[in-house]
Structure formats: structure tokens, C-alpha cells
Amino acid sequence: MSTAPSVFSKIISGELPGRFVYRDETVAAFLTIEPVTYGHTLVVPVEEVDKWTDADPSLWAHLNEVAQYVGKAIVDEFDAPRAGYLIAGFEVPHAHIHVFPAADMSGYNLANALGMNDTDADEMDAAAEKIRAGLRAQGVTGVAGGSVGDAAGDSGGDSGE
């Protein structure tokens, strides 16, 4: 197993860019660069954990709490019938939860994801802002300011407004 930081760790640390929607001391959520649809978000522990089954139960509970907030924001802001939730974990050795707008089961096929060069940057930015707005509407603390430079989230325990 490699000891090099995962691509997610590089995004979380700011070494690689990311469109963050949430960040606290233990969990980060950012848009994937290869979405099944706009709004496809990854909820990731800050600490590298390869398999979700190896995560500390309290960390895993918090990841799911954040995934639920993101899912509600997606349903509300994208007018989606459902928020998809998927754990795969074969491509990046860093546990993560996929949360995305879902109209039917076809959205669960990650093989149908857009390539990183097939997404529209403005649509990706707009999708991230919609999720942030949905999180703020729920009163969630830790809503990220946007780009990697703003990934630390809100301070002072407020919703960022």
C-alpha cells in the first residue's frame, strides 16, 4: 500500500483545487471532478482511512450526518426526487460517500460519469453554490466558502451568512 497522500488528501490540504461545500475538523465535502450529474458531492474524512469499515464509528457517524445534510440540500436545491448515496471506494484508497441528485437508478452507475474535461466549470460552480445555499438554509455550520482557499468553513459556529 502506498504511503503517498491520496488525491482526496491533496484536495483537502489545498495541494489540488476543489469545490468545497462543507468543512470541519474531521470531514470535508467537495464536488467530484467526474460527476454522474451536476451536484455530485464526495463526503470524505479529513484523516485518510482506506476502507469505510476501518473508520472509527464516531467518525463514520459524522460522515453520514454530513452526507444527510448534503443530500437534503441536493433534494431541495436541485428539485431532485431523491439524493443518491453510494459507497464504492475502489479508485481512491480514501473512504468516501458519493451523494448526488438522483431521478432513478441509472444515476447510481458511476461508469456513466462525465469525464473531468466534459464538465462545464460555470455549471460546477453553480452546483456547489446551490448546495452551500441548501446547507445554510438548514442552519448547518461548517459551510465552506467555495474554493480550496476557503475550505476551512465558517468560523464562530454560525451558518456563514
Helix residue spans in 23-103 (DSSP H): 57-78
Q: Of 62, 94, 96, 98, which is the active-site residue?
A: 96
- Told to judge if 94 belongs to the known catalytic residues of this protein, a careful annotator would answer no
Q: How far apart are CA 155 and CA 135, in angstroms?
A: 15
Burial, 156: exposed, middle or buried (Cβ in 10 Å; 0-12, 13-18, 19+)?
Answer: exposed
Residue reference for cell 466549470: 121
Exposure of 158 by Cβ count < 10 A (0-12 exposed, 13-18 middle, 19+ buried)?
exposed
Best CA proximity match to 47, nearest among 26, 23, 21: 26
Residues tagged active-site:
96
